Chain A
Amino acid sequence: AQSVTQLDSQVPVFEEAPVELRCNYSSSVSVYLFWYVQYPNQGLQLLLKYLSGSTLVESINGFEAEFNKSQTSFHLRKPSVHISDTAEYFCAVSATGGTSYGKLTFGQGTILTVHP
């Protein structure tokens, strides 16, 4: 079984400041990693994913995340945030095999609030 821990429940930042949302996971098998974003009153949307290859993955709106296998982390970063980035962010993992294959396990979310 897998588990995901998002270390910060809330992260307030000022506009144009950098931000890092932390995510750690545990699993007995190899995993694939995802970040989803949820804007108010909407469903979750995929932001970016790590499946294989380069450990640094990027989204179209300037977010990036780095898979660190030794530290079992997949932290999300953005060098300069906008007001529109205000949302809740969920880290998720999916096992590549075993009995948990095909199931997505989510962290409890981090609320990012960008202040002007």
Chain B
Amino acid sequence: DTAVSQTPKYLVTQMGNDKSIKCEQNLGHDTMYWYKQDSKKFLKIMFSYNNKELIINETVPNRFSPKSPDKAHLNLHINSLELGDSAVYFCASSQASGWNSPLHFGNGTRLTVT
């Protein structure tokens, strides 16, 4: 059973479109995250939710909107996609939001904006 699963695995779309990436974890964790990995492989946190409540919101354009319907799901909706949004997006979860809880990552969603 996949612990953190995200769909789709690949997403190719045109500029200006709106798209969503879904994430689900079956680990019973309280905290979920979205990370973006750019073309230079830098992984940067975008958002973090703890029990459906937003706790980390980095300087991300407001075209990106996370939604957590329950603590097992954290979806990422992106409006008006731009070329620079092309990246691999990783969902992750951890037992708690503190520094010492290891992250469990999904396999990533490779988004290509043309």
Contacts and interface: CB of A to CB of B under 8 A. Distances in A.
A43 B106 contact: yes
Interface in A37-52: 41-46, 49, 51
Given A43-B92, A49-B102, A108 B42 contact: yes
Of residues B41, B56, B92, which shows the largest number of chain A Cβ atoms within 10 Å of its Cβ? Answer: B41
Interface stretch (A19-27, A64-72, A74-82, A89-97): A89-97
Interface residues of A, number: 23
Interface of A: 32, 34, 36, 41-46, 49, 51, 88, 90, 94-96, 101-104, 106, 108-109
Given A43-B90, A43-B105, A101 B40 contact: no
A44 B103 contact: yes
Contacts, number: 53
Contact of B99 (A46, A90, A101): A101
Interface in B23-44: 40-44
B4 A43 contact: yes
Interface string B3-31: 01000000000000000000000000000
B105 A45 contact: yes
Interface of B: 4, 40-45, 48, 55-56, 90, 92, 97-100, 102-108
A43 B107 contact: yes
B4 to A, nearest CB: 7
A103 B41 contact: no
